[in-house]
Structure 1
């Protein structure tokens, strides 16, 4: 599965676009941001969100150390309660991650996944090496029911075992991070998840699939 496009409400479109261009060195055309095969389209938020958005960006795993050094020079990294700011996950994840705050306090993540192809790039990292938006957080009042609906309509299954509070649905190229609406985001675990006004378009899934969560305010569709 691939996350083709995300319509992302923000309080200040111009300032958010400038942040993605300047901090993450991504191509920006007006309100549209390109990240590899993915696109983020910023729009003015019409009402306050109930929590913060989570997005992750894939980095070729063999370029992760260079990406980490690049990011540390640009923004503060988020830490867990033990003070760690680098996280490696074994098992089905086979990944390494760092987290940082974006516009509107959104929780952003760079993640390297060992199963994906390596990059031929060398030297200092540049934001143009980010390959896609690989995760979007979707809060729900019933994770189990939503997991079942996504499986039926979009054909997605968990990357790792799910729980009533957390279900990562998809694969290394694209994941829907379905979380309980009252579960705070890792790593700082101080902010509740939000996705009000977000519209997510997926590719490489069955045509015509569509889900909307009226309570949480997000929409999920196939391309």
Structure 2
């Protein structure tokens, strides 16, 4: 069993806008809604937000879609929100080294979202694309101060590998496997495709790595806690 992202916990300064965007525009099922928190179902993953009105957090997430439905997903999403240009006016990016296609858009916080089709995965679908076609949260961006220290920490403590297809650079690495990846830039490095500098905001991630549960907390530094029954 590969690495899968089971739950991601983020913050929002606009809970009503978050519900309207993810539940309304994207049509993700709402699992739980309270005055200061909301949880959405994203395929086999869950996406949680809690209110923090003291900051204006933004993040990077990628959602995995069936490997044969890039054009369908693009058409579906384009009817619901704007799609960001990638390069040279193109809106669908082709990552040859990753054998993947992707496109980008923004949520109500300015979080950079992505739909990605990874063609090596066996997840072809012949149903019409809609919100239920989204398979999972596939990538989570986790900006840090020291990329090398973060990468070595994840490898040494939890055997989360450097992504075989890379890249591995002083200010940017990718950790994990095709079904679940941690995108680890140096804080301040620009996120594609907007080049907005990456910022550190609270993130909690629950993973399943080859059948073993892992919980990671990224704030100013990485913290790792077990068991998973920790109050959010």
**Alignment partner of 2:25 out of 23, 28, 43:** 23
Shift of 1:212: 4.5
In 1, distance between residues paired with 2:210 and 2:143? 21
Structure 2 equivalent of residue 145 of structure 1: 149
Structure 1 window deviating more from structure 2 (16-25 vs 93-102): it is 16-25
Shift of 1:210: 5.5
Whether 1:169 aligns to 2:171 is: no
**Alignment partner of 2:15 out of 13, 16, 20:** 13
Whether 1:186 aligns to 2:192 is: yes
In 1, distance between residues paired with 2:136 and 2:218? 24
SS at match of 1:66: helix
Runs of 4+ aligned structure 1 residues displaced above 3 Å come to: 205-214, 218-223
Q: Is the 8 A contact 1:10 1:103 kept in 2?
A: no
Aligned ranges for residues 68-87 of structure 1 at < 5 Å? 68-80=74-86, 82-87=88-93
**Number of residues paired by the alignment?**
218
Cα RMSD, aligned residues only:
2.1
CA separation of 1:55/1:99 partners in 2, compared to 1, >3 Å: closer, same or farther?
same
**Alignment partner of 1:95 out of 85, 100, 104:** 100
TM-score, with length taken from structure 2? 0.86
Whether 1:202 aligns to 2:204 is: no
Structure 1: unaligned runs, 5 residues or longer: none
Structure 2: unaligned runs, 5 residues or longer: none
